[in-house]
Structure formats: C-alpha cells, structure tokens
Structure 1
Amino acid sequence: MESVKQTRAHVARLDLGAEQVAVLDGQAHTARVPWNLLHEYFTFRQGRFATLKDCDAAIRQARREIDWMGQLPAQAAQAVLKTYRQAWANFLNPDHLATRPTFKGRLRTRLAVDVPQARDLQIKRVNRRWGAVNLPKVGRVRFRWTKDLPGLTRGGPAGRITGARLVKDAHGWQIVFRTQTLIAPRSAVHPGHTVGIDRGITVALALSDGTMREHRPWLTGGEKEHLRRLEKTSARRRTARPKKTRPSGRERRTYDQIARLRAKAKRRAVDWQHRTTTELAGTFAVIKVENLSIANMVRSAKGTIEAPGRNVAQKAGLNRSISGEAWGRTVTLLEYKSAGRGGQVVKVPAAGTSQTCHRCGHREATNRDGTKFACRNPDCGWVGHADTNAAINIKNAVGTPVSGRGDLGVTRSAKRQPPRAA
C-alpha cells in the first residue's frame, strides 16, 4: 500500500530584536490592506463576485500604486489571496463553524504574515536549544528548537517543510512551520478497548473505567490576583477616559499585561490537552464523547427587556468555566490523533447521560447531587461518582463516528468553493 501524506503544524518562538519586531509589525499591518481591498472588490464589485484572476490583478495594481506596500514581500501578498478564498470556503462548508469574512481592523486583528515557499526559509539547527531561519526582508532569525523538523535532522522524521506562517500573540512573534511527512497506512485497527469520556468543570475528563484526568488551575493564586487587579485598573481607566478617545499609554500597557496573563493560561491549557489526548488516543481504540452544542451552552442568560433572565451572574461564571476548559478543542485533538493511530472518535446523544443510572437505566433528575450519584430506584440503589456514571452511559450509547480509519470513519463533505463570477 502506498504511503499517505500527513500535514501537521509546529509552533516555535522567535528570538527577535527591536528592529526586526518593527519590520514584522509593519509587514503584518500592510497585509491587512490587500485583504480589505480583496473583500471590497470581491463582494461589492457591481453586485457580483470577482474572479480569481481579477483579484490577483487588483493586488498587483495596488502594489504598483501604493509605495509603502512594498515592505510586504510579494509572495506574502499573494498568500493573502489564498487565505481570503479559504476563509470563504470555510464559511460555506457546513462542517465548519467559521464566520463570514469581514474587513480587518487595525486593533482587533491578529497580526500574521505568510512565508508560502519553504526554499526561502533555509532552516538550520544552531545547537541543542536553537535553530535559525531566514525571514523575507527581516534576515536571519533564531527560534526555539523544541522538536525535530522533518527532513532537517539525521535520524529525524522523514518529510519536508512546505512553508510557514508568522503569527504574533501577547508573548511576541512565533513561527508556525507547515510540515509534511509520509506515513505508512495502518493494516489493522487500534488494539485498545472502548472508553466513554464525560467532559466537565469540577473534573476535567471522567472516564468510564473509573479513572479521571484532572489539571491544576491554569493560573496560580498570585497570577489570578494580579489579573484581578489589572482588570480593575483597566476598568477604572476606561471609565475615566472621555468617550470616543484613544486609550492612553498606561491603559494600553495594562491591556498588554492582561493579554499576556490570559495567553499564559491558554498555553498551559493547550499543553495539558495535547499531552492528555495523546495518551488517550494511544490507549483506547474507540473513544465516545457527548455531542454537545457548546455554543448554545455558553449563551448569556441576560434575556430581553420584556423577559429578563435570572441568575445572570451565576450563568456568566459557568460560561467562563466552560470556555476555560475548551471542550471542543479536546475533541478536535482526539479526532485527528485517534485517526492517526487506527482508532476512532464517536459522538453520542447527550440527553440523559448525567441523570440515568448506568446499572438499571432509571432516569430521574434527583439521582444526581453535585458530584454524587445515588440511584433512586429501590431495586438498584447504585451510589458512585456522577461523572463516572455519565461516562459509562456515554460508553454504552450508540452514536455516530466522526473520525477513524477505513470503514470506521465518516467521510466529511468536500469543502465548497466561494461563488464564482456571474
């Protein structure tokens, strides 16, 4: 059987000087211009969509007429067109929850620059901790070497680097390498057992075998207190600032400190999710999870003027806790990791899993009291952890496979392309 190409991303932190940061910031802000031009040209051109050829010509004309657009490399400008059309394809694809592409504002847009051609990177390993990469119009830059890249190290994974994307977050600039490796197709399914997983807040992941996967708070007590003080300071300064005026330097620095703390919490959460899902995907052949509508679960309880909601503050706190656990990202990681190991992920209906006794099937709302489950059926009377009971119900339920190998998986619909010109 022929090998299969596997595409993955590897993120590494860049070590940049002040001048290099300024150059990348300028390139990223310049990259917003072709995006906004494309959006205007694509959606408002005489009431019909523009063709790919017309969009490409519009970008070339803009680079000729606007001098400062020259600071953005030509290949990065062309990559904006590809990214823009992919955004439309994701929006029109029913398997994605992507929003409709819109104009990019200076303050609310994440800064990013594409390096679509791998030959421009010239990646080399400097020592055990650092590597070096060429960035167009920036120069030679060091990056943290935390994982062997395919095709670059002796004895490392076979494959190649197909490109990269530079992204800026609260901690600075990072590079996302696009890697491609060849893997042999699996001839057999995963040899492990089936497990049901209940996602929660008190217990992050409860398994049907009675074990649990828990984590410490994403921020320490001191970090939480620091974040609380910063949020109070930002609210006070925002209230004191006259309306329709720009934030002062102090206020912006406070926002930057808040963003760094929140980014630190997210980094820790993603790291825990990656390590945990890798362990689960390697242990179990079939992983069953609830088919939750998380977007509906975290909606506000404010209601309307005619019908105001109740317990709004408590619901807001619950929404923050659910969002902090990132249940959807956990399932997404499990899907591709299980599929790569010959396993599968199955989504089952969520109704009644936490109120039904797995032993006798008696369903009653009073069966559950917090984390304790006590069956009210006098002929049963099973008592145990509520999340474990829900996980067993999830394991025993019949659902729909969403990822896997061969006949075990569900073939997702092909991505639809943006509408063509009339």
Structure 2
Amino acid sequence: MNRAYAPAMAGPWNAAAARTGPTVRMYDMGGIGMLILGVLTAIPVSFVGRLYIGEVLLGLVGPVAIPLVVTMPGRYGKLARTLLIAMIISWIGYIGSDLYRGTPGFDYLRGWFRWVALISSYATLAWLGSKNVRYAVFFLIGWCLGTAFYPLFLANLPIRVWWKFYAGFPTILILAYFAGKFGPTIAAATMGAVGALSILLDSRSMMMTCLVTAGLSLIAGRRKPDARRSERRLSKSSVVVAVLAIGVCGAASLFIVEQIGIRYGYADRFERSNVRRWTNVEIAYEILKQSPLIGYGSWARDPEVARIRDKIVAKQVGKVTRSEAQDDLIIVHSQILQAWVEGGLIGLAFFVIYGWHLAEKGMRLAAVLPYEPLTPLIIFVLITAAWHFFASPFSGTSRVIISVACVLMCYLETGGTTARVAAPALAPAAPWRRSMAAMPRA
C-alpha cells in the first residue's frame, strides 16, 4: 500500500496529535512503575491506623516533593501550591482541636497521620503530574486494579458486593481511560453501557456518575478545538451553559435511576438510603450548633453529642444500631462536614478550596474545554470526588481520590498542557487532539 494514502484511511480517534515534549506510555518503565505503585496503594498496613503500602512509598518522597511543589512555576504550580498549603492549614486546625479537646493519643495520632499521608502523597503525585499528568493517571489505574482484585484473595464475595464496594469504580475508570481514546461517541456509549450494568448490580450512584460522564463527554466533543478556548476563564454565559449542561445531565440520570428503581423494586431501598444521608446532614447541623468554631478533634467522641445523634437517628431511621466501641463516636459521612466537626473552621480550609475548584473545573469541562482522550476519565473522577465531598467520610481510600482529583484539577488549570503521548507518524490528528498541540507548556 502506498504510504501516502495511510493518513486518509486512519480513523480520526485512532490518531494522536504530533506533539513535542517527553512521551509517556503505560508500558514504559515510568508507566509500569506507576502502575505497580498504584497496585501497592490498594494493600493496607496497620501503622497508626490504616495506611497503604503505596502511600508509605509516596510519603518517603514527600519531604523532597513538597519544596518542589511550593516553588513550582506557572498556573499548574500556583494551584498545586494553593491546595498543598490549604491541606497544611487544615491539618493545623485538627491539631488545635485535638489539643483543645484533649483527644486520646491513639485517636489524634490516627487523625494526624491521615493528613500526613494525604499531604505527602499529593505532593509527590503533583510533582510527577507537572511532568506528565499520565503518571498520576497510571497510578490511579494501578490502584483500581489492586482495589478490584486484592479483596478476592481475602474472601469469596457475592458479585453485587464485589462490584458495589470494590470493582465498580475501578472497572468504570479503566473503561473511561481506554474508551476515551476512541472519541466522545464511543466513550459515551461505553459509559452508558457500564452505567446500566451498575444499576443492575444495585449501585445507583455509579450509574448516575456514568450517565453524567457520558452526557458531558458528548457535549465536549461538539466544541471546536481551540488553544485559546482551553485557557479561557469562565464567563457569566459559560457558567449558565455549564449549570444547564450539568443540570440536564444530572436530572436525566436521576429520572432514569428512579424509573429503574420503581420498575425493579429498588425504590424503597433508595428512599431509605436518601433518609440516612439527610440524617447525617441533620446530625452534623445539630453538632455544629454546639461548637461551630472549634472542632471536636480527630475521631471525635463526645457522650452528650452522641445522645443528640442517637435521638435524630431514632427519629429518622427508627432504630439505633452500633457497637459498644462506637457508642460515643461521632461519624459524619461527608468530607466537608466531617472536617468542620473534627477540625473546626480552620480544619475546613482545604475542603472549602477543594470544593470550589471541583465546581469550577466541572463547569469548565461542561461549558469551555474541548474533548481530549482523558476527558471521560477526568469527568468521572471529578464527579466521584464531588460525590465523596458531600456523601462519604474523609478516611481510607478516599485519600487516593482526593490526591488524584487535585492533580487533575491542576492539569485542567493549564488547559491540559502536561499530557504528552507518543504520536504515530502516519495518522491524522483528531480535532480534539490537534488542539493540544497548539498549547504552550505551563
């Protein structure tokens, strides 16, 4: 075949843009190393609470990475530095609350090491992401593989339990990464299909996340690639468009989930789940009325506040069931509310900035940024991070999502100029990939 005709025969989504800069592939030494590090981050160890082997390894690099992040130039560096400083301020808030409340030693050490693990892991990933965001992406894919398969070595899990608590998020994320290479239509179809599988396996939050990811990916694919567009700030009209796009996608996904719940008998369980989530919000509100400025400390325990909690739970849910060890333990299943309850107003610093940028980057993805191969993965991760922000505790594996979400937001801050991939010599660039070639490095 005449090589001159090869470009015309290649599908647009099968081609990579001709880009300058270092290339990163999953099967290179760097890519394999990040995959292995991610897998190790799914394996827990007991050391002042629950840590993970990969977190420990990232933490060893933290003392070197933190000064590098603090002095990092450009827009990527500015946001990375802001998030890092906010984490440190929140940690100080926790320390102050623990000292004021006289938190038992083991509890405050667990609380402090939680922040140390997050800060050091994030700093290392942010520095690697400044070289190429795919280092953080490959780390996340490795973590997904470890999260999905490590539990199978410990127990025989029912398929629904395995999917909902272990394999669902990893499978969807890996599919989002590979489907994103084939363009917005294939990516959206893939997200829709795996979303349908999720609801059949009793995970409505994953289905809703998949459907919103599919919708926003299709919308991004319709935008004309433009380097100036990628670096453009949100205007008032863009905010309106973003709110409408996210609102329509979210409402459509919610309607579909509700109809499936009614059709297949999930509606009652969905309603009970909603009641429990609103109960957590009411508990946090009543607790914070008692002490809005100073937190209750790491792994907060307070008998009086626990009685308020039990009264609300009994009223909303109908019964109170917990172990004796949790009798006076205050658990709030919301990262933003938990930070306020445990660390007080100072402890809120990071999550306020983190939540703001989740919203701002989400609107940019919905209304400004054109499609690129990482778009479905980024949307899926940020929506999941936003869900955890409101409805999941700040502990355990959520630290991985927070760290990687922060790196991806720094990447979006630059218009996406740290992703460099190998370019086939004979393939034409898809429009959403050509846009990246014109972008200056941050």
What's the TM-score once normalised by structure 1's chain length? Answer: 0.28
What's the TM-score once normalised by structure 2's chain length? Answer: 0.27
Which has a greater percent of strand? 1
Structure number with the bigger relative contact order (C-alpha 8 A, sep ≥ 6) is 2
